[in-house]
Amino acid sequence: MESSQGLGALAARKQRAVIALYIYLAATAVFCLGEILELAGVIDMNALQLSTLTTIFAFLYVAQLPVVIGCIVIVAMWIHRAHASLLEAGHSDLEFTPGWAVGWYFIPIANLFKPFQAMKELWNTSFGLTNDFGGEAPFDLKVWWGCWIVGNIANWQSA
């Protein structure tokens, strides 16, 4: 794919990723509201006889799964395209290939730090910065990754 075509595809995938993430934000906010209502005793997921409100939240919880899976696929497609665009623009000295920039998310243990390194490389190369090992990462990336790791651990512990 030519560089201009790649950038066009990247813009289209950005649009889809942003929409998917906003849907994910809404679904997660509903999930959070459900947990707060459950803590307050307004709804009870363990009751034998579910109330109308509890049934609505039960359906919303189930509906969150395809939203999460869809969001992962769409954001992964953007990450792959963004890395591929760098290669097409002549950046041949990259540590991460487009495939592995996505693939590392699915490798246990390595997924705690490798995806962050890949995103840092993507950010630094896109902005024309040096991507030295151990170099300072942008603030946005650190906040995103910190929230991602701690949030996932909290969600995993609560399951």
Partner 1 sequence: MSLDSDLGAYQISLILGAIGSVLSIFGAYYLIGIIREITAAQEQGLGLEEVFA
Binding residues for partner 1, per CB under 8 A? 3-4, 7, 10-11, 14, 17-18, 21-22, 24-25, 28-29, 31-32, 35-36, 38-39, 75, 78, 82, 85-86, 89, 119, 122-123, 126-128, 140-141, 143-145, 147-148, 150-159
Q: How far is the CB of 52 from partner 1 (least distance, A)?
A: 21
Task: Name the minimum Å distance from CB 22 to partner 1.
Answer: 7
Q: Which is nearer to partner 1, 18 or 110 (CB)?
A: 18
SS (H, E, C) the chain: CCHHHHHHHHHHHHHHHHHHHHHHHHHHHHHHHHHHHHHCCCCCCCCCCCCHHHHHHHHHHHHHHHHHHHHHHHHHHHHHHHHHHHHHCCCCCCCCCHHHHHHHHHCCCHHHCHHHHHHHHHHHHHCCCCCCCCCCCCHHHHHHHHHHHHHHHHHHHHC
* Least Cβ distance, residue 102 to partner 1 (angstroms): 14
Q: Please say which residue, 84 or 103, places its beta carbon nearer to partner 1.
A: 84
Nearer residue to partner 1 within complex by CB, 8 or 99: 8
The first and second tokens of residue 96, run together, are 């991460």
Cβ-based nearer residue to partner 1, 103 or 121: 121
